[in-house]
Structure 1
Amino acid sequence: LQADLGQAVDYVMRAAPDAPLFAKIAMADFAYNVGIGALARSTLLQLAKAGMHERAAEQFMRWMFVAGLDYRDPKNNCRGIPVRRELQRSVYLVRL
């Protein structure tokens, strides 16, 4: 766990060094959850690197599918994914 999370944090620190602290925290959690490769290819990262943080934060809400199933749909029985994405979006937007 510690090594995987450390890799996610290290990647975010290299990929988006100018992003605000809480944006980095949210992106590291996202990378830990979906994989560094997914973050690396994402519009989320591209917008964050461009300083378009409000738009970047909204990208979390696009990541609601696992194995082709939309986890916003209650019949797919995984409310945790939408909750986690909303939490990531909210953390990303925290400003000090």
Structure 2
Amino acid sequence: MAVARIYQRPKNAMQSGRARTDRWVVEFEQTERQEPDPLTGWAGHGNTAAQVRMLFPTLEAAQAYCDREGHSYHVVPAPERKLKLQAYADNFR
């Protein structure tokens, strides 16, 4: 069976909003090395499970899916939010 990675998407660095960061993602890890195609030069491999990405509303739902389908998995903890508190007066120091 495939090894799955369960993680929570971080906030997009290009935007200030936190849309879709509450969902949990299940991705399958690659099991074979990518080979360049001799004709086009594009990288590819025969494992199509590595192209699958599924979204779940909770961590428990993602874990239940992996348990039900017989996939082994590991959970990557969500990155800790770092708040950089600034005051307008700091611009004039």
Q: Which has the higher contact order (CA 8 A, sep 6+)?
A: 2
Give the TM-score normalised by structure 1: 0.29
- Structure having the higher helix fraction is 1
- The structure carrying a bigger strand percent of its residues is 2
If you compute each CA radius of gyration, which structure gives the higher value, 1 or 2? Answer: 2
